Structure 1
Amino acid sequence: MKPSICRRALMVLFAFVAMASLAACQREPQPEWRLNDVTGHLPDLDFKLTDDNGKTVTGADYKGKVALMYFGYTHCPDVCPLTLTQLHVVLDRLGPAADNVRILFVSVDPARDTPAVMHAYVNAFDKRAVGLSGSDAAVEALAKRYRSAFTREPDRGDGNYEVSHSSAIYFFDAEGKARLLATPSASQDDIVHDLHLLTSLEARP
């Protein structure tokens, strides 16, 4: 992943989060989040993609679960495996509440990331992870919806190429509402803390 696109995407996200934080001061008191609160400032979880079992799914299929959405690809040499490993550790630390959490790993490289490839990849990290892929148009529309960014490098002629992509993690509550945004600098402690709060909100009547 090239640093330039990551920096540009993160600058946009940071600017957006800053505006969201100012607006949050006008609302009712919220839980004491440690991550970036984007409640009311990003759209609900909404997509139509193919999961790693080859089934067509939508955002509505994950209602009732807290969803952590991340854009990446299986040939990613560094940030994707590191992020998925971190999320696995986070969910283990979360304990039984992790049963109500799903990691949604959205491929920005659908040409290579078939459902079978995605299934083997995400399950190597965590059984609560779901690999999602779709057409170029569907993936691009979803990335644009959440102000994410990615660029595929030219094929070197042997089917090998890299995809530069931003690396934020989007948190959605059990109703599919966007609630939090974690940037690469977020610590495991902060993610665990906020997931405890988010799953507690989900458990309330």
Structure 2
Amino acid sequence: MTVPTRRTFFRLLGAGMCFAVLSGCSEDNAPNTGSSVDISGSLPQLAFTMRRAADGREVTAADYRGKVVLLYFGYTSCPDICPMTLFNLTTMLGNLGTLADQIRVLFVTIDPNRDSLDALKQYTSSFAPQIVGLRGTPDQLAALAKRYRVAYSVKPIAGTGDYEVTHGTGVYLFDREGNVKRLFAGLERPAPRDLKAMTQDVRNVLAAPSEREWLAHLLHIS
């Protein structure tokens, strides 16, 4: 599995040069590969306020404290990259067995104009039950994307009345306290060994003691 350095990753992200970071959701001949980057401490804690598609309730990051979270941006009419990524995340969750109950995949739509809560609910129901659709206002979406340096754009297609959507395809991994740990790229078409390695990365975060547990341990031994 390719493991670029944090410095290299953020240089590519800032320049918008990497297919794994920005995609127009269209097929190409990219090889099957995936990468996992340790970005611990490079980005702020998970924070957002949005509507959950399953019940329409307003939720925040606090609702998912105690769960390991995978954060992914996409949209329901994406023809390939988004469903392929969610399919592979579903496979990953299946491989984790009962541990999957401790995980939530937050699928944030970047196309709230077309993605109603009902559309998101129906779309995410095709994948693992741990995959949660979220829809925010344009300002809420922009704030969350900026917080994690996720590029996205909506551009009109001349003479059609339609528009083209492009977006970052990375999947962010957070621990139970909402601290960012890793960024996965290439989950739309990972090689089997890469998906296995990324699954192990999730296992490692699941197994890591929480900050509260560490503090209790330190107090006990002192």
TM class by shorter chain equals 0.7 to 0.9
8 Å CA contact retained: 2:177, 2:210: no
- Tell me what 1:35 maps to: 36
Whether 1:152 aligns to 2:158 is no
8 Å CA contact retained: 1:9, 1:148: no
| Structure 2 unaligned blocks of 5 or more | 1-8, 17-34, 214-222
Whether 1:51 aligns to 2:63 is no
8 Å CA contact retained: 1:70, 1:169: yes
User: What secondary structure does 2:50 align onto?
Assistant: strand
- Tell me what 1:143 maps to: 145
Q: Report the CA distance between 1:12 and its aligned residue.
A: 1.8
Which amino acid is the alignment partner of residue 134 of structure 1? G
* Bigger CA radius of gyration: 2
- Tell me what 2:93 maps to: 91
Q: Report the CA distance between 1:13 and its aligned residue.
A: 6.5
Q: Which residue of the other structure, out of 187, 193, 197, is the alignment partner of 2:200? A: 193
Cα 1:132–1:157 change in 2 (3 A) is: farther
| Structure 1 unaligned blocks of 5 or more | 1-7, 16-33
Q: Figure out how many residues of one structure are paired with residues of the other and give that number.
A: 180
Deviation digits for residues 69-93 of structure 1 (CA, Å, limit 9, x no counterpart): 0010001011000000000000000
Rounded to whole Å, the distance in 2 between the matches of 1:199 and 1:190 is 14
- Taking only aligned residues, the RMSD between alpha carbons, in angstroms, comes to 2.5
Sequence identity of aligned pairs in percent?
39
Rounded to whole Å, the distance in 2 between the matches of 1:102 and 1:38 is 19
Which has a greater percent of helix?
A: 1
Q: How does 1:74-113 map to 2 (within 5 A)?
A: 74-113=76-115
Which amino acid is the alignment partner of residue 44 of structure 1? Q
Range with greater deviation from structure 2 (158-167 or 76-85): 158-167
- Tell me what 2:169 maps to: 167
Rounded to whole Å, the distance in 1 between the matches of 2:60 and 2:103 is 16
Q: Report the CA distance between 1:95 and its aligned residue.
A: 1.2
Rounded to whole Å, the distance in 2 between the matches of 1:111 and 1:40 is 33
Q: Report the CA distance between 1:48 and its aligned residue.
A: 0.5
Range with greater deviation from structure 2 (123-132 or 195-204): 195-204
